[in-house]
Amino acid sequence: MTDRKTQIVVNKLTILFLVLVNVIVIRHGYIINEKWYWLLLITLPLFLLAMFHARQKRRSQLKPMNKRPKLSGRNVLNNSTTQMGN
């Protein structure tokens, strides 16, 4: 249980850190010197990758809870008619 919590905290802290770095880079690029913008070539893909990874982790954790047996229309009809006949 503690492993899952630490993974979630690390993911959120990584995303927060990358957001702050991107904000600082954009601010310095706009105010101080335009040469700061080249850092966005590194930080933006890292941010997008971290967001994608966090989203995939969340989906993989939610999937096992939402599993239901899928019945086709034919099986539903067969099941309802057999129950009615009993």
* 17 occurs within a structural domain: yes
Per the CB < 8 A criterion, the answer to whether 22 and 43 are in contact is: yes
Res 84 pLDDT > 80: no
pLDDT, tens digit, for every residue of 1-41? 556 666 667 788 889 999 999 999 999 999 999 999 999 99
* 20 occurs within a structural domain: yes
Count of alpha carbons within 13 angstroms of residue 14, beta-carbon side: 17
| Cβ count within 10 A of residue 20 | 11
Which range marks the domain in which residue 52 is found? 2-80
* 62 occurs within a structural domain: yes
Per the CB < 8 A criterion, the answer to whether 79 and 61 are in contact is: no
Domains of the chain: total: 1
Q: How far apart are CA 13 and CA 17, in angstroms?
A: 6
